[in-house]
């Protein structure tokens, strides 16, 4: 098969590739080899990986190829190239967390997510670049991960390489973590589908914590359907595909969070979000405006929780301050300044806010708002520069624990993606997926970058 044809296949869906495997039209070895070749070609531009597992991946691909040749019954992820953020423990393979401190750390056991991939027969081609300790700053030892839509712009963070690689056709899925938007922000910047599921829906065993109260784990893919498949493999959830992929939204009640939508200052982002809302209405949804008291300022209560909990995991490295990126260390120092009273008050506000979100869902099935108020910037926005606007629309749903998904609402005139955020009730990822899939199908599917 020609190199061009193989490159085209790398942007197919998981199910399409699986069917080609079963028809013996292409083999897992060919797809994995093409994925690694694409990785090697694009990596100097993207810087999306910390560790590449070429040898291991090709060895697994050979075994997968043999299984398909023998017509063995296997699942949907079998033989599918994937990656994962370098925050998940992988036995015998280093887990750096994008940090100097953990640069040579090699775990002696696997995270839940990596075990789930191995059990499914997915082929992990590498571990993705990320912001240091998932905490808002890139470490200079690793460098910024770049955006495949424009390599002079950031991929976002902290699940940077996960978003960049999936958008660029290097693997069919990745797994990220999200404490204030770290799956959804890079998904918005790179134009892919990123889900932060309900809090604790995906076990966090073997994930270095940032903030236990706010941390989530979730899948990042190019299509909604692929996202469903991956989530099913890393959780015990099973979905009704017929209802999710009906491509109609008749009877679905959608609430637009106006305070997070009308406050967008970027003209093109606002236009694309407004157009997306109209498209969802055209698909049959009942669309109303929703007001949630305090949602636009809830990040003020989130920060004491995030700062205090993050710092608590780093006290053992108090003598290694120079090994942190400047922004990371500044955040860690701030954590020491959070009083117990402030922390406990913030937890109480978190509970009250979660109740307010619950109330809003008495009126609607889904909430909508932009993911990020602007397209990808040239450099990673940083908390140390006082830029928390980037998470103003994402962190509320870390506080409440609701499932929240980012999907591309379209591209600006400079061809940079803009994310639409779709939020559901606790444990109701199915309706989130239904809305996202109907919208993605209606808008032409995944729009890939020209790298």
Structure-token match 């108020």, residue found = 373
Catalytic (active site) residue 2? no
Q: How many Å apart are CA 394 and CA 371, to the nearest integer?
A: 6
Catalytic (active site) residue 263? no
Q: Is the bond preceding 158 in cis, omega lying within 30 degrees of 0?
A: yes
* C-alpha distance from residue 81 to each of 9, 43, 57, 115, 146 (Å): 12, 16, 8, 15, 21
Annotated catalytic residue, options 85, 127, 196, 350: 85
Quick one: which of 168, 62, 176, 77 has its CA closest to 120? 77
Strand partners, 220: 174, 194
Which region holds residue 403: left if phi is over 0, alpha if psi is between -120 and 50, else beta?
beta
Give the chain's length.
451
Other beta carbons less than 10 A from residue 4's beta carbon: 8
Strand partners, 289: 256
Structure tokens at 192: 């892919």
DSSP letter for each residue of 210-272: S-TTT-EEEEEESSHHHHHHHHHHHSS----HHHHTSS--TT-EEEEEHHHHTT---HHHHHH
Catalytic (active site) residue 27? no
Q: Quick check: 255 and 288 in contact, CB under 8 A?
A: yes
Structure tokens at 230: 């991956």
Annotated catalytic residue, options 27, 111, 182, 406: 182
Annotated catalytic residue, options 83, 96, 137, 158: 158
Q: How many Å apart are CA 191 and CA 416, to the nearest integer?
A: 8
DSSP letter for each residue of 59-110: HHHHHHHHHHHTT----TTTT-EEEEETTB-BTTB---TT-STTTT---SS-
Beta strands 81-85 and 173-178 are: parallel
Q: How many Å apart are CA 222 and CA 6, to the nearest integer?
A: 17
Q: Quick check: 353 and 301 in contact, CB under 8 A?
A: yes
- Catalytic positions, please? 85, 158, 182
């Amino acid at each position: 098969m020609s190199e061009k044809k193989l490159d085209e296949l790398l942007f197919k869906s998981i199910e399409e590739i699986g069917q080609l495997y079963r028809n013996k039209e292409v083999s897992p070895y060919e797809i994995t080899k093409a994925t690694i070749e694409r990785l090697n070609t694009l990596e100097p531009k993207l810087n999306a990986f910390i560790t590449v597992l070429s040898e291991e991946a090709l060895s697994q691909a050979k075994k997968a190829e043999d299984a398909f040749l023998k017509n063995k019954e296997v699942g949907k992820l079998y033989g599918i190239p994937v990656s994962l953020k370098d925050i998940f423990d992988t036995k015998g393979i280093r887990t750096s967390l994008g940090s100097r401190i953990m640069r040579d750390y090699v775990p002696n056991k696997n995270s839940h997510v990596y075990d789930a991939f191995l059990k499914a027969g997915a082929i992990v081609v590498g571990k993705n670049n990320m912001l240091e300790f998932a905490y808002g700053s890139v470490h200079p030892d690793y460098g910024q991960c770049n955006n495949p839509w424009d390599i002079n712009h950031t991929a976002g963070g902290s699940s940077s390489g996960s978003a960049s690689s999936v958008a660029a056709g290097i693997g069919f899925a990745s797994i990220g973590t999200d404490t204030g938007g770290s799956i959804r922000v890079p998904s918005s910047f790179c134009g892919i589908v990123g889900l932060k599921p309900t809090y604790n829906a995906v076990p966090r065993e073997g994930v270095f914590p940032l903030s236990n109260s706010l941390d989530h784990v979730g899948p990042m893919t190019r299509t909604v359907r692929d996202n469903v498949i991956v989530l099913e493999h890393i959780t015990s959830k099973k979905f009704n595909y017929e209802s999710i992929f009906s491509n109609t939204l008749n009877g679905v009640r959608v609430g637009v969070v106006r305070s997070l939508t009308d406050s967008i200052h970027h003209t093109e982002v606002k236009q694309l979000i407004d157009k997306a809302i109209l498209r969802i209405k055209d698909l049959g949804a009942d669309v109303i405006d929703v007001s949630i008291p305090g949602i636009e300022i809830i990040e003020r209560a989130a920060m004491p929780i995030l700062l205090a909990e993050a710092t608590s995991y780093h006290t053992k490295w108090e003598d290694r301050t120079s090994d942190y990126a400047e922004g990371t260390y500044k955040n860690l120092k701030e954590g020491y300044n959070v009083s117990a009273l402030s922390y406990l008050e913030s937890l109480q506000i978190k509970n009250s806010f979660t109740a307010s979100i619950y109330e809003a869902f008495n009126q609607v099935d889904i909430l909508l708002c932009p993911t990020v108020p602007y397209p990808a910037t040239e450099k990673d926005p940083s908390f140390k520069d006082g830029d928390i606007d980037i998470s103003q629309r994402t962190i509320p749903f870390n506080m409440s624990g609701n499932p929240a998904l980012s999907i591309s609402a379209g591209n600006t005139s400079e061809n940079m993606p803009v994310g639409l955020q779709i939020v559901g009730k606790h444990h109701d990822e199915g309706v989130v997926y239904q809305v996202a899939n109907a919208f993605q199908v209606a808008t032409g599917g995944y729009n890939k970058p020209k790298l």
